[in-house]
Structure 1
Amino acid sequence: MRYGRAPETLRDIGFSLAPGSFHFLTGASGAGKSSLLKLIYLAHRASRGRVELFGRDVSRLPPGDLPFLRRRIGVVFQEFKLLEHLSVFDNAALPLRIQQRKPATYRDDVGELLTWVGLGERMHALPATLSGGEKQRLAIARAVVDRPDVLLADEPTGNVDPAMSLRLLRLFVELNRLGTTVLIATHDEEVVARAGRPTLHLEQGRLVEGGDR
């Protein structure tokens, strides 16, 4: 993968994630972690090679088919990407609203999830009134609310304290137990050590641990 005419950000990478697996993606800042996640959730296309999702080669798919694949992927962005005019509750419930589900069918579940991530008393607040850590937790709640087939998280514990970090890890583990494939990009060595899950490690755009040999 490259940005414009710049040198390749990622090159000669090969790996697969089995359905229901849980991996961490590690590497120094600038190693290419965020870029690799962007390839997986189809924010960018590979400049060469192949990306296969759910058994389909995305390089051969027409653009109109990509949104259907994206709906099966939950993403926690570093930039949060919250909708400022929607309340905490409505931001968390956005994937369910897009599916045109009636609020009565998800109100209790969304409320329980927000309570779990420590936002139970902020459901009616707007994002502008939240701290960085609260925005991070809201972004996580939105990403997992509809139990996606794949969850991609970019530094999901970067703005929270150690206690909340471990609580969020338990949330990811529970989601994984329900069948979601989880890939978390992180610098948090304590979280990686506690989880005891396999690691994909990037160095200067190459996968040096956990990939195909």
Structure 2
Amino acid sequence: MVRFEGVSMRYGRAPETLKDISFSLRQGSFHFLTGASGAGKSSLLKLIYLAHRASRGRVELFGRDISLLHAQDLPFVRRRIGVVFQEFRLLDHLSVFDNAALPLRILKRKPATYREDVAELLTWVGLGDRMHALPATLSGGEKQRLAIARAVVDRPDILLADEPTGNVDPAMSLRLLRLFVELNRLGTTVLIATHDEDMVARAGRPALRLHDGRLLGAEATP
């Protein structure tokens, strides 16, 4: 699903943020991406969801070298990837329900085919009683949960999550982790960037560890 071969990345003329990164994620795998703040976790995710290009090296998604993709192909590739951003990126003029259902609306699904599923998902993430609210009325933790619901609602081929439990309490963190595990069980490849080592330990999944822009390796968590 994802392959990096000798990948480096920089912003403008700044020093490289990522340096000679090589790894691969097979279909249906579940990994964490860990490292201190500034280690390069968010930058690595940006390369996967095509928000930035590598300065050197090769990035493959779904078996295709992304440097060879035509511009018209990029939206179709992005639609196969669900992303939980740190800054949420909710649409303020849409309700909680409509924000969560947005990926399905983009796919031109009829509301009657997804209304119950979206409502059930919002209930699972603790927003069942806020479905008609606007994002401006939500707390930071509620916005985080809504962003997660939107990212997983159409069961993407790849789910990328950048600190997805940073604004929620431990009980909700565990519940969201179970949601990611269930999505992975259904076939989605999951990569979660986090500095929460307790969550990594609880999940018992392998971790890719970044330090100063370099990948230290994959490590199975006991």
TM-score under structure 2 normalisation? 0.94
Asked whether 1:142 is paired with 2:150, we answer yes
The correspondence for 1:71, drawn from 57, 68, 79, is 79
Distance apart, 1:190 and its partner CA: 1.1
Aligned twin of 2:123: 115
The correspondence for 2:97, drawn from 71, 89, 94, is 89
- Counterparts of 1:159-174 in structure 2, within 5 Å, are 159-174=167-182
Aligned twin of 2:4: none
Aligned twin of 1:126: 134
Question: How far apart are the structure 2 equivalents of 1:96 and 1:168?
Answer: 21
More displaced stretch, 60-69 vs 38-47:
60-69
Larger relative contact order, structure 1 or 2 (CA cutoff 8 Å, min sep 6): 1
State the AA in 1 paired with 2:86: Q
The correspondence for 2:61, drawn from 42, 46, 53, is 53
RMSD: 0.7
Question: How far apart are the structure 2 equivalents of 1:110 and 1:121?
Answer: 13
Percent of pairs with identical residues: 87
Distance apart, 1:203 and its partner CA: 0.3
Aligned twin of 1:182: 190
Q: Secondary structure at the match of 1:24?
A: strand
State the AA in 1 paired with 2:53: R
The correspondence for 1:6, drawn from 14, 29, 40, is 14
Runs ≥4 residues deviating over 4 A: none
Asked whether 1:37 is paired with 2:45, we answer yes
Question: How far apart are the structure 2 equivalents of 1:64 and 1:32?
Answer: 29
Count of residue pairs the alignment pairs up: 211
Aligned twin of 1:205: 213
Distance apart, 1:108 and its partner CA: 0.1
Distance apart, 1:45 and its partner CA: 0.7
TM-score under structure 1 normalisation? 0.98
